[in-house]
Chains A and B, each alone.
Chain A
Amino acid sequence: MTALIIPPVTADAPVPPRAPARYRFGAPLWLLVLAALCAATAAIPLVYLVVRTTEAGLTELFDTLVRPRVLQLTVNTVLLAVAVTLSTLVLGTIGAWILTRIRLPFQRTLLLVSALPLAVPSYLAAYGWLVWFPHLHGFGASWFVMTMVCTPYVTLPVAAALRGASADLESVARTLGRGPLRAFVAATWPQIRPAAIAGALLVCLYSLSDFGLVSMLRFQTLTWGINAAYGASFDRNQAALLALVLVVLALVVVAGERRSRRQVGSIPGRSTMPARAPGKAGVVYVAVLLAAPLAGVVVPVVGLLSRLLEAETLRAIDVPRLLEAIGATLGLALAAAVVSVLVALPIAALAARYRGRLVAVIEAVGFLGHALPGIVVGLSLVFFALAAVPMFYQTSVVLVFAYVVLFMPRAIGSVRSGIAAVPASLSDVSRMLGLSPFQTWLRVTARLALPGIAIGALLVAISAMKELPATLLLRPTGVSTLATELWSRTALFEFGAAAPYAAALVLVAMVPAVLLSGIRGTAKEN
């Protein structure tokens, strides 16, 4: 027997795959401890809420829970959340299908326009509708406006999934005798289902946590009940209990969202389905697509402008008060952005470079604020501040802390991807050239991750400017932000007096948004 051995590796052998940008070894202890401490701050409201409600004793807890009032609020909340989730799921999926499968003119513009409702806080949309129809209230109105505001949460991910989904399967199903709708359901829907469900659950979370819209449209949900019970200060235990119920609902939804997000898989195949010409149905398609932006943005903004430009309103503007509110809004947002990024940095650095169970837990705790409704964080921090740090009660410190807890997840997300985009080999090179880990962090990692860090800060700033329920509960006496002024005037049906604040809020929130698009643009060029 003779063997002819071909050498296994020759000069032109394929290059081995690059090492991943993560380290294979455990994180340094100091980073773990620091990140754990930062993440722990996010857990304070939830932990304190649980402690506070269980202090009263389990029997009292149960007695309060089965009061008809509590049950009614819970049913209302769930009803609204489920109804909005279903309607956005249908409307959003159809919109996404139109965006990706129909050859419409100005497609990029249409995509942008259909994302617009995301920029409008829900209470602003409610205000806009109330300007036109002051008697609007109850379940139907809340359902309608909330659906219009939330639809993009489904449209955008489903459109992205549809663009990435293999269209071959649908063609195969058609050749095997299915009609267009049945082919879509059999072949394409399973591919976009994870994205659709994740988006829908996000909508569900949003409508569970919403306070401004339902309170302006006078539909009594848990958030409304919490605020009312807190206002009637003789029954703060009930406020805490309602908050706990709400948190449990929210956590269930978030757990579902996390699970659905993990199931996203991909099937190989051509992703682009030949887009169909719209034909006579084109008008219908565009109408469906534009329903949400029209109802969620155009109607409220036009209503706002019509009120703002009335001579009576213009004469009655209290300029110093408006400027004060703008200043307070900007200052609080800036503080929230800076502190959130500082707290998010260790968590993001850890999550971007290391893996392991402990790292995953720390990151998940940092993301807790994502699941916590603003009113819950606000209420819990009222209790916490009174009990633990009374000197900070009714100061901006506690309010900024609430913003940090609520919006840290946004900061962690973008800072983390900013750091993960810096190759770990650059840190290696820097260490080998004599720089300490800290110097390496400053001169290489943080320097290169700067766009991601800035994006995180701006996202927090935008969210903090629009935040309403926690701000209402925690703002220092005498301090008003644009959001709280808008809310309190609308609550008194002073739509004209509310208009300047609404307009100022839209304009002020645009500043970080413009900065954001600038940073994203340059980050892409690099």
Chain B
Amino acid sequence: MGWVSIEGLRVAYGDTRVLDDVSLRIPRGSLVAVLGPSGCGKTTLLRAVAGLLPVTVGTITVGGRLVTGPGVQRAPEKRGMGWVPQDASLFPHLTVGENIGFGLPRTKQSDDLFCEPSEVAGGAAGLLDRFTRRGRAARARPAAAREDGAEHPAARAAVPRSRENSRENSRAGRIAELAALVGLAELVDRAPAQLSGGQAQRVSLARALAPRPDLMLLDEPFAALDPLLRSALRTEVAALLRGAHNTSLLVTHDQEEALSLADFVAVMRGGAILQFGTPADVYERPVDPWVAGFVGDTVELDGQWHSNDGRSGDGPDTAGRAGLVDCVLGTLPADWMGAAAAPAATPVRVLLRPEWLILAEQGTPAVTTAIAYAGHDALVSFALEGGIVVRARIAAPDLPQLGARVTLGVRQSALAYPI
């Protein structure tokens, strides 16, 4: 099941490949975040999907429509996608309201101009379509209702609502509706220069949503905002996108943003997707130590793998993968993350998250050497025997004194990676 399906996408600038064989499937109505460091090709991916740059090889389909493929390169304006750029990019010569309405046809005549002949069908349906946005809604929405009506009763409900709107033929109504949706109803007559960064980004979102796109593309929409505003706005935007059952592709270099907002996260590096999964998947079971380090804090230790003798797998996922590792924290239950099965007594890299370490009755003796206090919790450094230092995230009420002797335990299976 993939509403948006990207297959074998490659983009090259001259001889340099910026995207190399990227494949991604986005289920309908979900929010997918592409997470990666600067220069990993994530923005290129987004622009390729938008049709803003030519693709060397590969196909992109949206809702069964081929938009990029061999010999096919649909113009950006014919893809039916919404675009929210990093810096809002509001048209400075138009008011907020005119910005939101920019993608809506101005008059019935211009609407007819935009319609392809087949879409200006006769009868009541055709008449209706002529009032909707250049037939885009007509193209996507009835099919959507058929496909997903069962899973998304709200989506079905959205159909009559949108038709009611179009029956009023109110471009103005749609603008007012969206302005209200993003909480800026009273600012429609303002000039973009009079808006704050957060308000501008909301207008940009409303503008992209107005023509009811099949897919929303968001290019680091919160990166230019200050941190406080950023976290408040992104929660709100995610709720907005979900509320309208939009399918969205978000690009970000901020792991917290990706993990907290998205239904699925694709981690990118060097033009390729390393891992695709739910936020919990990516955080708890990263495919390699780089991904682990990129999506969160890690504790890395050297260890030795013991094959799983008496223990059976905890479930179908971990069958044959669960075992034990010896490391400086003792013998820990661990999951093998390599591709091929691991032979016994292999040296491995043991990986833990700081919050998997706890202060326990029994465990490895350690001395508290540093505390990075963060209010709700703290990252505490512990020196183990032999001078090895590990960091643990300890909840504030349990914080040890500096220099205190404690014993450390581990409350979750460690991850073991081939070296």
Contacts and interface: CB of A to CB of B under 8 A. Distances in A.
Name, among A5, A7, A13, the residue most crowded by chain B CB atoms within 10 Å (CB to CB): A5
B54 interface: yes
B277 to A, nearest CB: 18
A9 interface: yes
B102 interface: yes
B70 interface: no
A11 B254 contact: yes
Interface string B277-319: 0000000000001000111111111100000000000000000
A444 B102 CA distance: 11
A5 B76 contact: no
Interface in A15-35: 15-16, 18-19, 24-25
Contacts of B86: 18, 425
Nearest to B204: A429
B52 A431 contact: yes
A85 B102 CA distance: 55
A107 to B, nearest CB: 32
B207 A4 contact: no
Interface string B337-352: 0000000000000000
A433 B87 contact: no
A2 B43 CA distance: 35
A105 B85 CA distance: 49
B83 A9 contact: no
B253 interface: yes
B43 A7 contact: no
B202 interface: no
Contacts of A8: 37, 293-294
Nearest to A447: B93
Interface stretch (B19-27, B123-131, B142-150, B386-394): B386-394
A5 B300 contact: yes
A109 interface: no
A7 B294 contact: yes
Given A11-B227, A448-B93, A6 B297 contact: yes
A425 B256 CA distance: 26
Contacts of B76: 428, 431-432
Nearest to A422: B92
A1 B391 contact: no
B92 A19 contact: no
A434 B293 contact: no
B89 A423 contact: yes
B53 interface: yes
A16 B78 CA distance: 30
Nearest to A444: B91
A266 interface: no
Given A7-B297, A431-B52, A13 B389 contact: no
Interface string A430-441: 111111110000
A423 B54 CA distance: 20
Nearest to B81: A432
B299 A434 contact: no
- Chain B interface size, as a band, is 35 or more
B77 A448 contact: no
A12 B89 CA distance: 23
B302 A2 contact: yes
B53 A432 contact: no
Interface string B13-40: 1000000000000000000000001110
A124 to B, nearest CB: 40
Nearest to B89: A425
Contacts of B133: 434
Interface string A498-526: 00000000000000000000000000001
Nearest to A24: B13
B90 to A, nearest CB: 8
Given A11-B256, A16-B223, A432 B83 contact: yes
Contacts of A431: 52, 75-77
B112 to A, nearest CB: 14
A209 B27 CA distance: 69
A434 B134 contact: yes
Given A7-B296, A11-B227, A18-B86, A433 B302 contact: no
A314 interface: no
A15 B223 contact: yes
B50 interface: yes
B53 A24 contact: yes
B10 to A, nearest CB: 15
A526 B391 CA distance: 52
Contacts of A448: 91-93
Name, among B102, B388, B389, the residue most crowded by chain A CB atoms within 10 Å (CB to CB): B102
A426 B89 contact: yes
A391 interface: no
A3 interface: yes
Nearest to A1: B302
B181 interface: no
Contact of B102 (A13, A425, A430): A430
B38 A16 contact: yes
Contacts of B85: 425, 428-429
A444 B391 CA distance: 53
Contacts of B81: 432
Contact of B53 (A16, A25, A429): A25
B37 A434 contact: no
A6 B92 CA distance: 41
A432 B82 contact: yes
B390 to A, nearest CB: 7
B389 A4 contact: yes
Given A5-B298, A426-B89, A448-B93, A434 B114 contact: yes
B103 A433 contact: yes
Contacts of A429: 83, 85, 89, 91, 204, 207
Task: Please name the 3 residue pairs, one residue from A and one from B, whose CB atoms are nearest each other, closest first.
Answer: A433-B103, A432-B83, A2-B388
Given A1-B302, A7-B296, A431-B76, 16 more contacts: A2-B300, A7-B298, A8-B293, A9-B253, A9-B254, A12-B227, A426-B91, A429-B207, A431-B75, A431-B77, A432-B52, A432-B79, A432-B81, A432-B103, A448-B93, A526-B92
12 contacts: A2-B301, A4-B389, A9-B37, A10-B256, A11-B256, A16-B220, A432-B52, A432-B82, A432-B83, A433-B207, A448-B92, A526-B92
